[in-house]
Amino acid sequence: MSRRRKLMIIIAVAVLAAAGLTAHQLVWPDLPPVPPKADAIVQLGGAGDRRAVAFDLWRQGRAPVVAISVPDDEFRTGWCGKGVYRGIPVICFHRKPFTTRGEARAIADLAAQHGWHSVILVTTPDQAKRAELRVDRCFTGSVAVATARLPLADWPWQILYQWGATLKAYTLETTC
């Protein structure tokens, strides 16, 4: 077998392994079922229709409140300060830093303030495992994850971004 052919086989195996790992970790992550009850539903910021999923979980009676991570401009709007959005009890929070790690820290703070022992995170599949890891590092309670659909056009960028962010979470930022 030629050296070039061996190299092509090695590259092909590496590409298939990376695709399989990406599918398992980011596209179809292995998540346990969402529990019937939690103390809060927490919608993380980002792409996808996360708010609709969070509100649907609330309508199912999974938790008495929905905490929503919002950007600074939305945090300053009137609806966030009212504590209710379309009849749903909400708590808006603005994470600092504006990252999943910042959200995890904010969730731990909210849990301490409100006596939460369990949360259901709402995110997209690409962020699910990393969000769970980040929140588990900051919050001592039970963490479950529900996912919203990520638009097809967002997948290429999100896969690249999430791999970088996941590697960072496992190597450079290993604490809350």
Q: Encode pLDDT of 95-145 as tens digits.
A: 888 899 999 999 999 999 999 999 999 999 999 999 999 999 999 999 999
Residue 62 has pLDDT above 80, yes or no: yes
Helix H or strand E segment including 94: none
The yes-or-no verdict on residue 9 having pLDDT over 80 is: no
Angle at 32 between CA 22 and CA 20, to 5 degrees: 15
Residue 56, in any domain of the structure: yes
Give the percent of the chain with pLDDT over 90. 63
Buried b / exposed e over 70-108, threshold 16 CB at 10 Å, is beeeeeeeeebeeeeeeebebebbbbeeeebbbbbbbbb
Within a domain: residue 3? no
CATH at 129: 3.40.50.620
* Number of structural domains found in the chain: 1
Residue 159's SS3 state is helix
Does 130 map to a domain? yes
Domain of 127 in residue numbering reads as 30-171
**Can you give the pLDDT at residue 54?**
97
Work out the angle between the directed axes of helices 125-138 and 100-114 (0-180°, nearest 10). Answer: 50
With respect to residue 24, please indicate whether it lies within any of the assigned structural domains: no
Report if residue 49 sits inside a domain.
yes
125 occurs within a structural domain? yes
Least confident range from 28-32, 34-38, 117-121: namely 28-32
pLDDT (0 to 100) of residue 145: 97
At 22, is the pLDDT very low, low, confident or very high (cuts 50, 70, 90)?
Answer: low
Residue 19: per-residue pLDDT: 61
Q: Is 69 inside any structural domain?
A: yes
Bridging pattern class, strands 84-85 and 66-69: unpaired
- Quote the tokens at residue 56: 């649907």
